Amino acid sequence: MLIHPQIDPVALQLGPLAIHWYGLTYLAAFGLFFGLGVRRLGHAPFKHLPQWQKRDVEDILFLGVLGVILGGRVGYCLFYKPAYYLSNPLEILAVWQGGMSFHGGLLGVILAMVWFARTRQRPFLQVMDFVAPCVPTGLAAGRVGNFINGELWGRLADPSLPWGMVFRGAGDLPRHPSQLYQIALEGLLLFVLLWWFARKDRPMGQVSGAFLLGYGLFRFVAEFFREPDAHLGLLSLGMSMGQWLCVPMVLGGVWLLRRQPS
């Protein structure tokens, strides 16, 4: 049995300015996206499309940041605590209190990429195929932030589990370090598989489909080890909110992978 190291969430204190580890993981996520995006320009079909340039990566990153933050916050408010935030709408702006949703962030990014595709006159699925392989490392970075903060811990684990971990605020019994599971599955493993899959020229939409399917399946599995949100618990069929939100992702991914390119 392990004890969570209880890392100080503040990485650096400069007078009244506190730099949090969680903010640094977001910064790392955006930096990784940019670096991978520049490399992605060398993959087919983008290396054969002269309209795809480094400035596109910069613009996609800027729009993606807006989509992640706005969509992630609004998605959390709507998916997880709609009644509370409808009664206290100004609290939606209190992002420093925590509360972000991956699925909301995904919707925000999709809307941002719709705008990018229309303004640059690029096929939407081509844009999403470019973006998808650059995302998982950022997801892994975000889960590192969750682990440092000792939040979003896992369900109770068998006391004999060697890596079972006791988290501050979660009682004295060991739990699954589900943040680490998610780093490994929907972060590192998904990145390796998707980057390999995307290196070859694929029919438009298939890389996006592989991301939706892969993330949906990995997150669905990880949710079996993650403690459900206390105010929601398990929903119908014994599934968590995270699992239900993964269902349309998996279905959409299968559809994109099976569709006949036009």
What integer pLDDT is reported at residue 260 of this predicted model? 78
The domain in which residue 108 lies consists of 19-258
What integer pLDDT is reported at residue 106 of this predicted model? 92
Q: Has residue 101 got a pLDDT over 70?
A: yes
Q: What is the pLDDT of residues 32-77, one digit of tens each?
A: 999 999 999 999 999 999 999 999 999 999 999 999 999 999 999 9
What integer pLDDT is reported at residue 68 of this predicted model? 92
Q: Has residue 127 got a pLDDT over 70?
A: yes
In a domain, 32, yes or no: yes
In a domain, 196, yes or no: yes
In a domain, 4, yes or no: no
Average pLDDT, the chain: 93
Residue 139 · residue 219 · CB < 8 Å: no
97: confidence class by pLDDT, cuts 50, 70, 90: low
What integer pLDDT is reported at residue 99 of this predicted model? 80
Q: What is the pLDDT of residues 195-231, one digit of tens each?
A: 999 999 999 999 999 999 999 999 999 999 999 988 8
In a domain, 252, yes or no: yes
In a domain, 56, yes or no: yes
Distance, CA of 30 to CA of 70 (rounded, Å):
15
What integer pLDDT is reported at residue 91 of this predicted model? 86
What integer pLDDT is reported at residue 79 of this predicted model? 87
Name the amino acid, one letter, at 100.
M
Q: For the chain, how many structural domains are there in total?
A: 1
In a domain, 225, yes or no: yes
Burial class (CB in 10 A: 0-12, 13-18, 19+), 75: buried
Q: What is the pLDDT of residues 167-185, one digit of tens each?
A: 999 999 999 999 999 999 9
How far out from the chain centre does Cα 40 lie?
A: 19
In a domain, 9, yes or no: no
Question: Is the pLDDT higher at 84 or at 28?
Answer: 28
What integer pLDDT is reported at residue 218 of this predicted model? 98
In a domain, 8, yes or no: no
Residue 191 · residue 133 · CB < 8 Å: yes
